[in-house]
Chains A and B, each alone.
Chain A
Amino acid sequence: MRAEGAAALVMALPKGRILEEALPLLERAGIRPEPEFAREDSRQLRFATNLPGLVLVRVRSFDVATFVAFDAAQLGIVGSDVLMEFDYPELYAPVDLGIGRCRLSVAEPESLADEDRPERWSHVRIATKYPELTRRHFARRGVQAECIRLSGAVELAPQLGLSQRIVDLVASGATLRANRLAEVETIAEVTARLIVNRAALKTRHAAIQPLIERIREAAHAG
């Protein structure tokens, strides 16, 4: 039995980077959260919107995919990096929102990058928030990747000798430069996506499809 009644749809939004860009986009789609939502320090977890059948929740970006995959939330906004990491079969990603643009890259110390020969690798050790995606990426090239999973401050790993290389999101490259790291390979370009739970789209199509259309139009207009 689902805890959430058939009444309200839940949309999960990620805290941080993407949220700032997502709110104006939702506004253009005619979805406005209650004022409390804007307060970073709010202890409230669920927020009403101007649409009676839609509530918002704010969770960590990796958790957006999990909430939606298990139908705890029916819709969500999440970076394509998270979708590539989890590859949940229960998720649809119908709209590229064109926000939260960055790339997922392999980086290593500048001193190493000069003479490194990536085509000769057979095994690499990599610190990352994305162990699954990293393993798959290197496996396709016949390289075995030993991944050390971190939850943040990945750029510290080479300095402290945890691993020489990292896989992480790169927006401007400023963080990498500050830590004397060089980008050696781009794995994927990343943008935020609207995601929808598969079973929910089939069983509650009449309620969900119009929201998808509104958000699609708002994304293309932006």
Chain B
Amino acid sequence: MDRTADPGLLPQGLRDILPPDASFEAAAVERLLAAFAARGYERVKPPLIEFEDGFLKGAGVDVARQTFRLMDPESRRMLALRSDITPQVARIAATRLKNAPRPLRLSYAGQVLQVSGGQLRPERQFGQAGVELIGADGPAADAEMVLLAAEALAELGLPGLAIDLNLPTLVATVARSLGFDDAAVARLRLVLDRKDEAAVRPIAGDRAGVFIALLRAFGPAEEALRRLGDVSLPDGARAELAQLAEAVAQIRRHAPALELTLDPVEHRGFEYQSGISFVLFAPEARGELGRGGRYRTQAGESATGFTLYTDTLLRALPRPAPARRILLPADAGAEEGARLRRQGWVTIAALSDTADPIAEARRLGCSHLLVRGAAEPVETSRKKR
């Protein structure tokens, strides 16, 4: 332990969030949850830590790699500190709420901790807010997820949103029908995730054409679907695409202007997704705002959902106007303070009399001062004297 280290130093990827950002984040999360609740998504609150085997059951390898473990001195079992909330909500749906009527709509918000930060997001602790729609198959449920994400973010005032639709199972479906083994599928995925056209041919040989066509289909959703229509694909892949086309049509009916791209080969981060998935981008934020998609719960139920990363989201949102702060003299009545707060003021009570209340108001970041029952701007009240 380096005893000379500054006491303010935190471990890498962790930080204190200060005013006004902390309250900005809390308010944004509450508004997201209100948008989810208004559409019937009821809030659940899983614990921070749970048994490792329960947490990791059904979750992707990526989650396992990112999870801190510790030993529980009580039960002597390994515990996992959640690195993702989705597996917890899926567990709740598969166990405690297994008899609740389907489709089951749940929402959540909370902090997660990951072993290492990402390239674009060095944060190891960050907030997640999201929903899960459990026990509903079909394009209507997929469309509901995309639309809910778009509406909730629009209600929050996000300027500009781009949604990239993905079909992470498609490449494997096509490759298996062409006779590729698991190792070849894994290698194909790796190069397709990088859109590295030149590397497809050495792996796929004379069957490379279909994968390059899938790679080049990427673009605005309707255009990409048209291009995919011209690619010769096995029946299984056709069925997956038909489902996606129907979801796109339903999304368009409600959100004709939504910026929607379709990338049929994107698979990174979708290791445990079993169908239509999507990533949310905002031109104002670096990297992903959130992601979602279809998966199976540990009980084998089909489910879909999405998660927003609140730290990235805040970077893309317009800053709120600073609160109007007013300094109340020490002798101000309780009723006066209450009246101002009802009018939207933030009241700062002087704890003792000061010789220069104007200077005191400035020092405490107040734009106004209560003088004889009226709010006076600090600047003009100085000039009057």
A interface residues (Cβ-Cβ under 8 A, vs B): 1-2, 6, 69-71, 83, 88-96, 191, 193, 196, 199, 202-205, 209
Contact = CB atoms under 8 A, between A and B. Distances in A.
Nearest to B284: A1
A89 B196 contact: no
Contact of A199 (B193, B197, B287): B287
A69 B286 CA distance: 10
A70 B219 contact: no
B1 interface: no
A88 B119 contact: yes
A71 B263 CA distance: 19
Interface centre among B160, B220, B281, B288 (most CB of A within 10 A): B281
B119 A96 contact: no
B194 to A, nearest CB: 5
A2 B286 contact: yes
B369 interface: no
A58 to B, nearest CB: 23
B365 interface: no
A199 B195 contact: no
A71 B194 contact: no
A89 B286 contact: no
B279 interface: yes
Contacts of B215: 94
Contacts of A1: 284, 315
Nearest to B193: A89
Contact of B164 (A70, A96, A191, A202): A202
Nearest to A206: B220
Contact of B286 (A71, A88, A93, A205): A71
B283 interface: yes
B151 to A, nearest CB: 19
B198 interface: yes
A95 B281 CA distance: 24
A90 B164 contact: no
Contact of A70 (B259, B281, B286): B286
Contacts of B148: none
9 contacts: A69-B120, A70-B119, A89-B119, A90-B119, A92-B195, A94-B196, A96-B198, A193-B196, A196-B195
B88 to A, nearest CB: 25
Interface centre among A71, A193, A199 (most CB of B within 10 A): A199
A191 B194 CA distance: 15
A218 to B, nearest CB: 15
A204 B259 CA distance: 10
B324 interface: no
Contacts of A196: 195
A199 B289 CA distance: 10
A2 B282 CA distance: 11
Contacts, number: 62
A27 B72 CA distance: 65
B375 interface: no
A66 B344 CA distance: 46
B120 A70 contact: yes
Size category, B interface: 20 to 34
Contacts of A88: 119
A132 B90 CA distance: 37
Contact of A90 (B283, B287, B315): B287
Contacts of A204: 283
A94 B195 contact: yes
A51 to B, nearest CB: 20
Contacts of B277: none
Nearest to A71: B286
A16 to B, nearest CB: 22
Contacts of B279: 202
Interface centre among A88, A91, A96, A205 (most CB of B within 10 A): A205
Top 4 A-B residue pairs of the complex, sorted by shortest distance between their CB atoms: A96-B198, A92-B195, A203-B162, A94-B195
Given A70-B119, A96-B196, 18 more contacts: A2-B283, A2-B286, A69-B119, A70-B120, A90-B120, A93-B194, A93-B196, A94-B195, A96-B198, A191-B198, A196-B195, A199-B281, A199-B287, A202-B263, A203-B259, A203-B281, A203-B282, A205-B220
B197 A96 contact: yes
Interface centre among B162, B194, B261, B283 (most CB of A within 10 A): B194
B370 to A, nearest CB: 37
A93 B215 CA distance: 12
A209 B261 CA distance: 12
B176 interface: no
A16 B194 CA distance: 25
Nearest to B288: A199
A193 B287 CA distance: 22
Nearest to B160: A203
Contacts of B160: 203
Interface in B206-231: 215, 219-220
A76 to B, nearest CB: 14
Contacts of A203: 160, 162, 259, 281-283
A204 B220 CA distance: 11
A69 B160 CA distance: 21
Nearest to A96: B198
Interface string B162-205: 10100000000000000000000000000001111110000000
Nearest to B315: A1
Contacts of A193: 196, 198
A2 to B, nearest CB: 7
A95 B220 CA distance: 20
Nearest to A93: B196
